[in-house]
Chains A and B, each alone.
Chain A
Amino acid sequence: MTGMKWILVGIIAVCNTAGDVLNTAGMKRQGELEDFRPRSIARMVLGILRNPFVLLGIGALAVSFFALLSLLSIANVSFAVPATAVSYVLETFLAKHVLGEDVGKRRWAAATLVACGVFLLQW
C-alpha cells in the first residue's frame, strides 16, 4: 500500500502543477474578467468552454482531486502535505520560465515561505 500512496502523491503534484499552469495560460489568452456583472461572468464561463488550455487544466485538476480523495481515504492528511508544499516552488518556477512572469526576489521568498509553512503545518 505504501507504493500506491507514493504514486498518488506523484499524480497529485504533477496534475496540480500542470492544471494551474494550463489554466493561467488559457485565462491570459482569453482576457481579463473586468467586472463582476453576471453578464461578464457568464461570458467568461462560455469562453472557458471553448478554451482548450483551460479545459485541459480543469481536467488535470480533476485527476489531482480524485487522486487526493483516494490518498486521504488510505493515508493520513500529512502524507499529502509534501506534494502540496513542493508544488508551490515548482509552479513558481514554471510561472517564470513557461508563463514568462516576472518572478523577483519577493515572489521567490513568498513561495518559499509558503512552501516551508505548509510543510511545517503537519506538526
Chain B
Amino acid sequence: MKPESSLHKRRNQILILVVVLSNVIGNVALGHGMHQTGAIVSASPLDYVRAFARPWTVIGVAVLAGWMISNLALLSRADLSFVLPVTASGYVLIALAGHFWLGERISAVRWMAVAAIALGVILAEETPSRTTNGGREPALQGENFSHERDPAEVHPELDS
C-alpha cells in the first residue's frame, strides 16, 4: 500500500468522531428509554414493539441507525483491527463526561481502566488505517464472489 494521504486520514478522523459520538448518545438515549420498561426475555415481537414505543427509545434507535451507517463507512476505508480499538475511545468519553459533567465518583481501578483504554486508542491510532487491498484477501477468495473479482474493475477503487 502507498502511504496514507493526509486527506484520507482526516476524513477517517471525522468518521471516527461521528461513530463514537453517535454510539455514546444513542446508547445513553436507549438506556434511558429501556429503563422505563420492565424485563423482556420474550420471543414475542409485540413485547419489543411495546418497549420501542417510548420517545427516548425511538431517539436512541434512530441515532444508533446513524452509528451503523457511519461505522460501515469507516469499515469501508479502514481495517477492523484499527477501527475496534480506536472507537473504544467512547468509553473514555463516557467516564470523563460522567466525572466532569455529572460529578460521578470514579474509583482508582476505573481510572486505571480508562487510562488503559486511552493508551490502546493512541497505539492503534498510530498504525496505518488500512493494510488490505480492495477486498481480495486470499482467505476469503473463491466462494460466491468470484464473478466480481475482475482486477480491471477493482483497481480504480484502490486508495491513492
Q: Knowing A29-B145, A106-B124, A117-B91, say if A101 contacts B81 (CB, 8 Å).
A: yes
Contact A120 B110 (CB under 8 A): yes
The verdict on B76 contacting chain A, using a C-beta distance below 8 Å, is: yes
Q: How large is the interface on A (under 10, 10 to 19, 20 to 34, 35 or more residues)?
A: 35 or more
- The CA of A44 and the CA of B76, in the complex, are separated in Å by 10
Interface centre among A91, A104, A106, A109 (most CB of B within 10 A): A106
Contact B73 A44 (CB under 8 A): yes
Task: Give chain A's interface secondary structure class.
Answer: helix
Chain B residues positioned under 8 Å from A91 (CB to CB): 80-81, 84
Contact B121 A110 (CB under 8 A): yes
Contact B120 A31 (CB under 8 A): no
Residues of A58-100 contacting chain B, CB below 8 A: 58, 61, 66, 69-70, 72-74, 88, 91-92, 95-100
Number of chain B residues whose Cβ lies closer than 8 Å to a Cβ of chain A: 58
Contact B84 A73 (CB under 8 A): no
Residues of B46-64 contacting chain A, CB below 8 A: 48, 51
Contact A33 B76 (CB under 8 A): yes
Given contacts A31-B76, A100-B137, 14 further A-B contacts (CB under 8 A): A24-B83, A27-B72, A28-B76, A29-B134, A29-B135, A33-B77, A36-B11, A44-B76, A66-B48, A72-B34, A91-B80, A107-B127, A121-B110, A121-B117
Binding site for B on A (CB under 8 A): 4, 20-21, 23-25, 27-33, 35-36, 41, 44-45, 48, 52, 54, 58, 61, 66, 69-70, 72-74, 88, 91-92, 95-104, 106-107, 109-114, 116-121, 123
Q: Which 3 A-B pairs have the closest CB atoms?
A: A113-B120, A120-B113, A117-B117
30 chain-A/chain-B pairs, Cβ below 8 angstroms:
A4-B41, A23-B72, A25-B137, A29-B134, A30-B135, A35-B11, A36-B11, A36-B14, A44-B72, A69-B34, A69-B51, A70-B40, A73-B39, A91-B81, A92-B80, A92-B84, A99-B137, A100-B137, A101-B81, A102-B131, A106-B124, A107-B81, A107-B127, A111-B120, A113-B85, A114-B121, A117-B116, A118-B91, A120-B112, A121-B110
Binding site for A on B (CB under 8 A): 11, 14, 34, 37-42, 48, 51, 68-69, 71-73, 75-77, 79-85, 88, 91, 95, 107, 109-110, 112-117, 119-121, 123-124, 126-127, 131-132, 134-135, 137-140, 144-145, 148, 157, 159
